[in-house]
Amino acid sequence: MSRPHLPYCAALIAALLAACTQVNVHGDPKAWAQSQNDTADSAADARLRVATYNTSLYDDADGGLIRRLQAGDGNARKIAAVLQRVRPDLVLLNEFDYDAQQRAADLFQHDYLEVAQPGGGEALRYPYRYLAPVNTGVPSGLDLDGDGQSGDAQRADRARGNDAWGYGLHPGQYGMLVLSRYPIDADAVRSFQKFKWSTLPGARQPRDPKTGKPWYAAKVWPQMRLSSKSHWDVPVRTPLGVLHFLAAHPTPPVFDGPEDRNGARNHDEIALWARYLDGGTPSWLCDDQGRCGGLAADARFVIVGDMNADPIDGDGVPGSIKQLLDHPRVDSSHVPSSEGAAQRATFYGFPRKGNINEHTGDFGPKAGTLRLDYVLPSRGWTVRETGVFWPRSDSEEAKISEASDHHLVWVDLTN
């Protein structure tokens, strides 16, 4: 969840990878050359492991994560150990603080992932990465929570986070980071950070249940951004072909009032991906780069992220995640599971209608466990294996699995 705790580029040969940019993508020529050798391998024998992991590597202080990583952070070591055990080829890290200089990403990769960790495996290197600004902690200058005070970065209280475009105490808190073994086509990346909520057809505009009037003031609603962090379409050149990595982290549907503004936003953040998959060239569906239209009908993709929506249980708007699970372009028939999830859910004893083996998040004895994290491939892939890294509490692996309240979810794909 986003608020559970209230929550080089070296110059590449232009003809090969003109898309690499100083701002967003990390890569190097040797890795590019190796990836070309990998791509030359028989695609029929290739297997791609895709994952999502809410790492909880965030800090309430601006630059706090950087300082922790410099000093040596125990939870970061465990997160790295999990990644070294599972070894995904392509992974989205949710709740990883963004900084424009990419210092946190550098430190995590160089000092943690690229160093064998206790309980982990061999050092793990990702030659490519993508990261970009997110809405969390960015002051809106507006009164978004209705407390009569406009959002102001100078406010000392935690409530200032409620008036940011996405809840956060500093810009970049709870950000996102994509790590990849294979080249990222940065020129083709699409982001929807600034997409306006009111632009979405059928948007669930929050309303005061007592009066029926809109919750957001008339001057606020047209300015509201839909994405609480951002929505990214990151094309990756894999040995199996181009994969559109659709990454997001919708707001949790709690921490609000009877107007359920976060529940409505969570539903519509998920709806944005569903409408994107519908394809076509709707004029309202325009990204931050000024390009309009949905995902091409022949594009293959994987949707990843902490969606903060359980298919059956939890506090979300009913049917929120089913907008993706039931979409005709999505293969949701292979559901990752683990023994650890069932063990923990049984221990808490919360009544659940869904399959507790499929849960991915653990929110303690007051909230229990839920399925919130997803890796959803498009139809056309062959799904070989799936899993959630949630070992039983009596296993050796459990020592590295509790660094976050979410667990890594992975899917193996072939053509």
pLDDT at 45: 73
- Output the DSSP codes for 15-80: HHHTT--TTTEE--HHHHHHHHHHHHS-TTT--EEEEEEEEEE--SSTTHHHHHHHH--HHHHHHH
Place of tokens 């590449």: 12
Region 154-167: mean pLDDT is 80
Element spanning 16, H or E: helix 14-17
Query: DSSP states of 326-375 as a string?
Result: T-TTB--------HHHHHHHHHHT---SS-GGG--EE--TTT-EE--EEE
> What spatial distance separates the first Cα and last Cα of the chain, rounded to whole Å?
33
The stretch 343-366 carries a mean pLDDT of 96
| In the chain, % of residues over pLDDT 70 | 87
* pLDDT recorded at residue 199: 97
Q: What is the H or E stretch that residue 65 is in?
A: helix 64-71
Mean pLDDT for 283-301 is: 97
Residue 1 has pLDDT above 70, yes or no: no
pTM recorded for the entire structure: 0.90
For the segment 39-56, what is each residue's pLDDT rounded down to a tens digit?
444 565 799 999 999 999
Cα–Cα dist 307/319, whole Å: 13
pLDDT confidence band for 350 (50 / 70 / 90):
very high
Q: What is the pLDDT of residues 235-257, one digit of tens each?
A: 999 999 999 999 999 999 999 99
The confidence score (pLDDT) of residue 414 equals: 96
Higher per-residue pLDDT: 160 or 139:
139
Which two structure tokens, joined as six digits, stand for 277? Answer: 């998959």
pLDDT recorded at residue 156: 58
- What the chain holds in terms of domains, given with CATH numbers, is 14-136+172-414 (3.60.10.10)
59 pLDDT more than 80: yes
Instruction: List helix spans (H) across 244-389.
Output: 261-277, 322-325, 339-348
Specify the residue for token string 């980071």. 177
Mean pLDDT score, 296-310: 98
Quick one: what percent of the chain has pLDDT higher than 90? Answer: 84
Does position 22 have pLDDT exceeding 90, yes or no? no
Give the torsion sign (CA, 228, 314, 270, 358).
positive
Name the CA radius of gyration of the chain, rounded. Answer: 20
> 184 pLDDT exceeds 80?
yes
Q: Is the pLDDT of residue 11 over 50?
A: no
Convert the pLDDT of each residue in 108-157 to its tens digit.
999 999 999 999 989 999 999 999 999 999 999 999 988 888 766 555 56
CA distances from 188 to 4, 98, 313 (A): 33, 21, 37
CB atoms within 10 A of CB 332: 17
Q: What is the per-residue pLDDT for 3?
A: 45
pLDDT at 148: 84
As a whole number, the mean pLDDT across the chain is 90
pLDDT of residue 44: 58
Better pLDDT: 8 or 259? 259
| Contact in structure between 352 and 313 (CB atoms under 8 Å) | yes
pLDDT at 380 > cutoff 80: yes
The whole-number pLDDT of residue 153 equals 52
Type of residue found at 55: T
Distance CA 132, CA 178 (A): 10
- Rounded CA-CA distance 296/242 in Å is 12
Q: Judging by beta carbons within 10 Å of its beta carbon (0-12, 13-18, 19+), is residue 350 exposed, middle or buried?
A: middle
The tens digit of pLDDT for each residue in 309-348 reads 999 999 999 999 999 999 999 999 999 999 999 999 999 9
